[in-house]
Chains A and B, each alone.
Chain A
């Protein structure tokens, strides 16, 4: 797979600033709406309230009720009407309030959104973005902490991506809005307030690409979304044991860009794949399968995975055990090295 090329914008003169993921997403929406009057934001509480995570804060005030729609409370309606709007030439960005609330809209996503381009053989495009705050670790009640991304990665016709930091949040959301394909955009909700420096004039990666965030020679760890930070911390901790861990942020889950992962595994001979979702038939299964196919002769150990479990998301007092943490990642790194 070809190495991703860097893209450059350079149109903005905004200086480098420290922003959170939430602010990066907010700025991305604002830029997209300023650039293209066809970009709409729609969802529950996205207007006056600015979204329950404040990602759409201030947008309705500045762009009006006809571009930032506080919709009736129905996800099938949000996504279904957004499909119609997209067919009419708009570029809707839907917010699903929490991961576990997307399923009333699942039918529209699977039956209509994913297939429209194929059925019409490209005569109708559906440039729709569905933003989904996902993942656990916030001590919430049921349906607020799930990682359903694999369900969507399984559906042909959808692009599925996840940002892990403010810079990616800023660029990837704009790229998703620019895409003529429907994009499921998974946002790591427990990392919304993580900060980083953003230089809006800097080069950035295309949306469909993975990125090596930390180089290392002993073990490769591939992950995405909220567990990127966990794995970076694990890599730092592994240094104390003399282990040099390379961390790849997958960023795009469908299609996967496994070139950088394969290149890394050819050097390290070992791979640990990490995500919060249940392991069976998941994105991590797909990564493991394809890397063992592609790098069979380079592997020194079986590909290992660290995931949630194949249970419903547990009561929040148990979620620290459910979520891959630093210790479980290090344990897998050690097991891989000891193999």
Chain B
């Protein structure tokens, strides 16, 4: 399908289509309590443009623009992916509650969006995550234990971005969108885009992950501007989980987020972010377009943050339980499970096997976490610059001498230097 499908200035039926969609324009600042209860925020309904291939009941449906050939093996694989990353995520939450982690950023509810996107990437592609992308990390071959250092405070991210094809988590909101665009420009400058010769499989693209809140940041806008004028092979994957800490998406936009792409001149598609099949189908299509030189593209994965923003947050202060309950009925894992059962693609033995694998992962995750070594004091000064700085070197020497003074005087260094 051609991207022009979306980038034509206006389709004759646009006006009707928008009217039919009935996604609230969100002209008022904050929906009233009554509006939320009445579902007028429409957080649980993605509107007429929502791409869905699996209903919340697990029934396979067709879509005129997006379909996907998928094997039973792949379906079972994505079910396993989602169960395992959710289990690691829940364990991360528990470890924080038990004092083993400083903070944890829950992924709960966004498994389908991330696994669909992550499984659409090839090894040579590049991912630029925000900080909730545990599912994407999983797909990039980053073991969940490698995420722990960030949240336990032993490192700022332990994986190698070059080896894994995934940049480190980015905490300042939206920053990564410009970096991803630059990386994608580099892929293009290096001749890795649009090749149709002997090895088109060597084409590359970049996928950048951010949230609904981030769409307000200048960096996201600038990333989209750059990507569009340089035809960068980048897919902007926005997980609209409805909440930027306490602020609903209405605080960020009057229009559905996917429609913003039109203003930049590239396609924007809203996909059911709780439908792993749809997320995979749209992501595969978008990444292929980007690899072929038809980028950039925007995907809005319409999903829900089922837990708090982080373990430091108390979501009960600003949102109603009803909303959460409505979204529980759209659970991404239950949806695929229902489909696998309905179509007899998996049996109880398979589900039991995945569950016991999840138990093993959880045990390994915990074991790894509580046994992580403390970083040595000299780690503070390591690799600040590519060329060693005399200033940093002098400070390291002074500090280590200072610590050695405690050891000489018979004090316990660990205890004395707070």
Task: Please tell me if A311 contacts chain B, counting CB pairs below 8 Å.
Answer: yes
Given A65-B29, A73-B213, A100-B172, is A321 in contact with B417 using a C-beta cutoff of 8 Å? yes
Specify the main secondary structure of chain A where it touches its partner.
loop
The listed residue (B103, B216, B317, B417) touching A73 by CB distance below 8 A is B216
Q: Is A316 an interface residue (CB 8 A)?
A: yes
Bound form: Cα–Cα A140–B389 in Å:
27
Q: A314-B380, A317-B153 are in contact. Are A48 and B216 (CB under 8 A)?
A: no
B98 at the interface (CB under 8 A from A): no
Binds A, one of B233-241, B245-253, B345-353: B245-253
Contact partner, B399, options A48, A316, A321, A326, Cβ 8 Å: A321
Docked-complex contact B418 and A72, CB < 8 angstroms:
no
* Cβ-defined contact, B245 with A45, below 8 A: yes
Contact between chains at B154 and A315 (CB < 8 Å) = yes
Given the interface contacts A70-B246, A143-B171, does A327 sit within 8 Å of B416 by beta carbon? yes
A residues within 8 A CB of B375? 315, 317-318
Q: A49-B318, A77-B216, A310-B391 are in contact. Are A320 and B380 (CB under 8 A)?
A: no
Which one, B29, B151, B418, contacts A141 given CB within 8 A?
Answer: B151
**Would A104 and B217 count as touching, CB distance under 8 A?**
yes
Which positions 276-313 of chain A face chain B at CB distance < 8 Å? 280, 309-312
Chain A residues with Cβ under 8 A from B102's Cβ?
139-141, 316
Q: How far is the CA of A101 from the CA of B172 in the complex (A)?
A: 6
Q: Name the CB-closest residue of B to A279.
A: B395
Q: Measured between alpha carbons, how far is A318 from B154 in the docked complex, in Å? A: 8
Q: Which residues of A contact B247 (CB under 8 A)?
A: 44-45, 70, 72-73
Q: Does chain A have a CB within 8 A of B149?
A: yes
Assembly CA distance A314 to B154 (angstroms): 9
**Nearest CB on B from A132, distance (A):** 14
Interface centre among B131, B389, B395 (most CB of A within 10 A): B395
Chain A residue contacts of B389, Cβ below 8 A = 310
Q: Is the CB of B245 within 8 A of A74?
A: no
**B153, A315: Cβ atoms closer than 8 Å:** yes
Report chain A residues within 8 Å CB of B172: 100-101, 103-104, 143
Q: How far is the CA of A325 from the CA of B416 in the complex (A)?
A: 10
Q: A71-B251, A73-B213, A143-B171 are in contact. Are A309 and B218 (CB under 8 A)?
A: no
Q: Is A52 touching B245 in the complex (CB atoms < 8 A)?
A: yes
CB atoms of A327 and B384 under 8 A apart = no
User: Is the pair B153, A72 in contact by a Cβ cutoff of 8 Å?
Assistant: no
Complex alpha-carbon distance, A317 and B100, angstroms: 12
Q: Does A322 touch B at the CB level, under 8 Å?
A: yes
Provide the bound-state CA to CA distance between A50 and B171, in Å: 22
Q: B380 to A142, Cβ gap below 8 A?
A: no
| A162–B219 CA distance with the chains assembled, in angstroms | 29
Cα A298 to Cα B224 with chains together (Å): 60
Within 8 A of A (CB), among B263-296: none
List chain B residues, Cβ under 8 A from A71. 251
Chain A, residues 21-58, CB within 8 Å of chain B (1/0): the string is 00000000000000000000000110111101000000
A176 to chain B, nearest CB (A): 25
Judge whether B23 is part of the interface by a CB distance below 8 angstroms.
Answer: no
A328 contacts the other chain (Cβ, under 8 Å)? Answer: yes
On chain A, the residues within 8 Å of B232 by CB distance are: none
Minimal Cβ-Cβ distance residue in B for A76:
B218
Contacts of B149 in A (CB 8 A): 315
Instruction: Name the A residues within 8 Å of B399 (CB-CB).
Output: 309, 321
Are A328 and B402 interface neighbours, CB within 8 A? yes
Q: Select which of A101, A317, A322 is within 8 A of B173 by beta carbon.
A: A101
- A311:B156 contact, CB within 8 angstroms: no
Confirm or deny: B50 has a beta carbon within 8 angstroms of a beta carbon on chain A. no
CB closest chain-B residue, reference A48: B318
The answer, yes or no, to whether B225 is at the interface (CB within 8 Å) is no
Instruction: Give min CB distance, A331 to chain B, whole Å.
Output: 7
Residue B356 at the A interface, CB < 8 A?
no
- Per-residue B-contact encoding for A124-140, CB less than 8 Å = 1, 0 else: 00000000000000011
Q: Mark B134-167, 1 if CB is under 8 A from A, else 0.
A: 0000000000000001111111100000000000
User: Quick one: closest B residue to A49, CB to CB?
Assistant: B246
A20–B251 CA distance with the chains assembled, in angstroms: 31
**Are B418 and A331 interface neighbours, CB within 8 A?**
no
Which residue of chain B has the shortest Cβ distance to A312 in the bound complex? B384
| Neighbouring B residues of A76 by C-beta, 8 Å | 217-218
A317–B152 touching, CB < 8 Å: yes
CB-CB under 8 A from B246, the residues of chain A are 45, 47-49, 70
Does B381 belong to the interface (CB within 8 Å)?
yes
Closest A residue to B105 by beta carbon equals A141
Indicate whether B94 reaches chain A with its CB closer than 8 angstroms.
Answer: no
- For B392, the closest partner residue in chain A by CB is A310
B30 interface residue (CB < 8 Å to A) = yes
CB-CB nearest in chain A for B150 = A141
Does B198 belong to the interface (CB within 8 Å)? no
Task: Kindly list chain A residues whose C-beta atoms are within 8 Å of the C-beta of B214.
Answer: 73
A327 to B156, CA, bound (A): 27
| Residues of chain A within 8 A of B381, CB atoms compared | 309, 311
Q: Which of B124-139 contact A (CB under 8 A)?
A: 131
* Residue numbers in B under 8 Å from A311 (CB-CB): 380-381, 384, 392, 395
Closest to B382 in A: A311
> In the complex, what residues of B have CB within 8 A of residue A100's CB?
171-172
Complex: how many Å from CA A319 to CA B374? Answer: 12
| B217 touches which of A74, A280, A312, A319 (Cβ 8 Å) | A74
The CB with the most chain B CB atoms within 10 A, among A72, A73, A142, A327, is that of: A73
Q: A44-B245, A311-B381, A316-B102 are known contacts; what are 7 more A-B pairs with Cβ within 8 Å?
A: A50-B317, A104-B172, A314-B379, A318-B153, A326-B418, A327-B416, A327-B418
Q: Which 5 A-B pairs have the closest CB atoms?
A: A316-B153, A72-B216, A49-B246, A73-B213, A139-B102
13 cross-chain CB contacts under 8 A: A49-B318, A70-B246, A71-B251, A73-B173, A73-B244, A76-B217, A142-B150, A143-B172, A311-B384, A314-B380, A315-B156, A318-B380, A325-B417
